Amino acid sequence: MTTPLLGQMMDVPLTVSSLLAHASRHFGTTEIVSKRIEGDVHRYTYRDCEKRAKQLAQALMALDVQPGERIGTLAWNGYRHLEAYYGTTGFGAVCHTINPRLFPEQIAWIINDADDSYVLFDTTFAQLIECLALLCPKVRGWIALADDAHLPAVHAPMPLISYETFLKPHDGAFDWPLLDERQASYLCYTSGTTGNPKGALYSHRSTVLHAYAGALPDAMCLSARDSVLPVVPMFHANAWGMPHAAPLTGAKLVLPGKDLDGKSLFELMQAERVTYSAGVPTVWLGLLNYMKEAGVRLSSLQRAVIGGSACPPSMLRTFEEYGVEAIHGWGMTEMSPLGTLAKLNWEQSQRPPEEQRRLREKQGHVIYGVDMKIVGDDGRDLPWDGVAFGELHTRGPWVIKRYFQKDDSPLVDGWFPTGDVATIDREGFMRITDRSKDVIKSGGEWISSIEIENIAIAHPAVAEAACIACAHPKWLQRPLLVVVKRKDAEVTRDELLAFYAGKVAKWWMPDDVVFVNELPHTAVGKLHKVKLREQFCDHPLPSALEVENGPLSNERAMGGAESKPAAG
């Protein structure tokens, strides 16, 4: 056997600290702007940020925190949270970002599962810390991301330390150690609407490769001329990689803190000439509603990625009317999280606008580094014809191979099963039809809840909509539409159902509509369908009552009378 000829290039490990070191050295004066929970706006530079991240690293090492130990964060998007990202991972500790919107018991469970040794928290969560300190006795210290003047009064078993006092004795004068790029960098738990959340443990290598790919033109398209505002929280899959891709490219970072309402976001975007942003549809809905009501337009925003849940086509169109390129994206915590983005190639971008729109409404094309396929119930690969749908499987250097603290691997033949049901068309554009748990199966045929919701959202009187399965004596399940009306708008059940005519096959039409004041959301702002199903599982569908009480008169309940429409 011959020895392979090895390349003769340097073995420089891909470490998270190298991203900030690069920005500090080459974009040292570029700004990081944060809306603080104290109420004011804080500004400093990448150079300042690196110095303080190093101070944090020194402070943690002085407490004998070892590489591999987990440091928890419970914080909004802000400069101190960013310092925590780099100040922990920089010397080999693991930054464990925790979602503060979960229930205290869930947070305690996560902190204990992760075995966090210290937790850094924003003072908005002071009361939560009182409760967590009792439930998480192994945490050695709780550090408030504030100065002494803003230290909250908390009755915890141990005294709180203010972050600024913690940093003060250290000068930030040391070189980041060279780490093995396979060492763990971040620990992010999935939102887990059922069962306990599971941890995805990223590595330095996966984080850096993900930042490279995420910055590319057909992904976030970031450059040193951009001003980037991550609306998606830094506790949701590393804010989709923006805190890494921004220093990699030298883009300005704008961190919005806790105020994510439409007005606050609009004002910050305008003041900081934000060119790029990303978030879940619910947050964009708030911004677009504010802009409509206030009659204002964004003057600098060029691109917005919408992901985390399905982006309604009507939202893409509204952004277009405002002159903003809205990009539908898909990913998951287990994938660091970027997977696909709906960007067109040159030939596709020459097609008639309606055809382009149809492609851009899908979840999109993989970015380099991610491979995907769809498989049927029998485990066999399904064709890329835009019609066949099955479970989406992925693989790549920033996709997990197992969950934190779990011995068994979830992989199937080396692929990660996402739990999403999708089609892929001939051009490689993927479309999610449902989360497998949310699929509606009527008379053995699948109905895409996402498609039903997208149509409802396109109605001018509808602010938000969710489609769930309701039990049915004949078809086993039928779709129920739950709707929040826009302020001051009116629409009746029958008008809404009539709106579906010609848009989907008759048997896909919801059997009933329920109007509610608000829909439940998960801790990361997605529709909480588990809760909705609990709430409406006993909803009396008119078609079900007809089956029970006599012959069906409602044509909509004639599931299977028409052939299933193409989902691609």
Binding test (CB under 6 A) with ligand AMP, winner from 58, 277, 333, 442: 333
Decide whether 269 or 421 has the Cβ nearer to ligand AMP: 421
Beta carbons within 10 angstroms of residue 48's beta carbon: 18
Least distance to ligand AMP from the beta carbon of 26, Å? 32
**Residue 347 one-letter amino acid:** E
Q: Which of 50, 164, 181, 334 is catalytic?
A: 334
Binding test (CB under 6 A) with ligand AMP, winner from 118, 330, 389, 398: 330
Q: Which of 168, 401, 441, 548 is catalytic?
A: 441
Using alpha carbons, select from 49, 46, 41, 51 the residue that is nearest to residue 30.
Answer: 46
Least distance to ligand AMP from the beta carbon of 59, Å? 31
Q: Which of 15, 88, 123, 190 is catalytic?
A: 190
Report how far residue 547's alpha carbon sits from residue 549's, in angstroms, rounded to the nearest whole number: 6
Decide whether 191 or 207 has the Cβ nearer to ligand AMP: 191
The site string for ligand AMP over 150-189 (x = CB under 6 A, - otherwise) reads: ----------------------------------------
Site for ligand AMP in 209-268 (CB under 6 A): 237
Written as one string, the DSSP assignment of 135-202 is H-TT--EEEESS-GGG------SS--EEHHHHHTT----SPPPP--TTSEEEEEE---SSSS--EEEE
Rg (CA), the chain: 24
Contact between 100 and ligand AMP by CB under 6 A: the answer reads: no
Phi, psi of 14 (to 5 degrees): -85, 100
Report how far residue 341's alpha carbon sits from residue 363's, in angstroms, rounded to the nearest whole number: 6
Decide whether 250 or 568 has the Cβ nearer to ligand AMP: 568
Least distance to ligand AMP from the beta carbon of 204, Å? 21
Decide whether 164 or 334 has the Cβ nearer to ligand AMP: 334
| 446 tagged catalytic | yes
Decide whether 117 or 418 has the Cβ nearer to ligand AMP: 418
Report how far residue 25's alpha carbon sits from residue 88's, in angstroms, rounded to the nearest whole number: 20
Do the Cβ atoms of 179 and 13 come closer than 8 Å? yes
Q: Given the rule CB under 6 A, which of 262-270, 401-409, 414-422, 503-511 is the region that contacts ligand AMP?
A: 414-422
CA quadruple 267, 268, 270, 276: dihedral positive or negative? negative
Binding test (CB under 6 A) with ligand AMP, winner from 30, 191, 249, 433: 191
Binding test (CB under 6 A) with ligand AMP, winner from 34, 185, 314, 363: 363
Contact between 568 and ligand AMP by CB under 6 A: the answer reads: no
Using alpha carbons, select from 469, 466, 420 the residue that is nearest to residue 442.
Answer: 469
Contact between 310 and ligand AMP by CB under 6 A: the answer reads: yes
Q: Is 119 helix (H, G, I), strand (E, B) or coil?
A: strand
Residue whose structure tokens are 């005294």: 159
Written as one string, the DSSP assignment of 335-383 is GSSEEEE----TTGGGS-HHHHHHHHTS-BEEPTT-EEEEE-TTSPBPP
Binding test (CB under 6 A) with ligand AMP, winner from 251, 359, 456, 524: 524
Binding test (CB under 6 A) with ligand AMP, winner from 60, 228, 301, 332: 332
Which residues lie below 8 Å from residue 437, measured CB to CB, with a gap of 6+? 194, 419, 529, 530
The residue length of the chain stands at 568
Q: How many residues bind ligand AMP (CB under 6 A)?
A: 21
Binding test (CB under 6 A) with ligand AMP, winner from 88, 162, 309, 336: 309
Q: Given the rule CB under 6 A, which of 59-67, 325-333, 373-381, 550-558 is the region that contacts ligand AMP?
A: 325-333
Least distance to ligand AMP from the beta carbon of 239, Å? 11
Binding test (CB under 6 A) with ligand AMP, winner from 190, 336, 433, 448: 190
Binding test (CB under 6 A) with ligand AMP, winner from 307, 312, 396, 510: 307
Least distance to ligand AMP from the beta carbon of 191, Å? 4
Show the tokens assigned to 128. 């939560």
Least distance to ligand AMP from the beta carbon of 39, Å? 30
| 190 tagged catalytic | yes
How are beta strands 365-366 and 445-447 bridged, if at all? Answer: unpaired
Contact between 418 and ligand AMP by CB under 6 A: the answer reads: yes
Q: Which of 165, 446, 531, 564 is catalytic?
A: 446
Least distance to ligand AMP from the beta carbon of 398, Å? 13
Cα 490–Cα 519–Cα 432 angle in degrees, nearest 5? 100
Beta carbons within 10 angstroms of residue 153's beta carbon: 7
Q: Is 508 helix (H, G, I), strand (E, B) or coil?
A: helix
Decide whether 92 or 197 has the Cβ nearer to ligand AMP: 197
Contact between 420 and ligand AMP by CB under 6 A: the answer reads: yes
CA quadruple 160, 164, 169, 170: dihedral positive or negative? positive
Show the tokens assigned to 76. 């909004």
Decide whether 78 or 281 has the Cβ nearer to ligand AMP: 281
Binding test (CB under 6 A) with ligand AMP, winner from 435, 485, 529, 556: 435
Catalytic residues: 190, 334, 441, 446
Residues forming contacts to ligand AMP in the complex (CB under 6 A) are 190-191, 237, 307-311, 328-330, 332-333, 337, 363, 418-420, 432, 435, 524
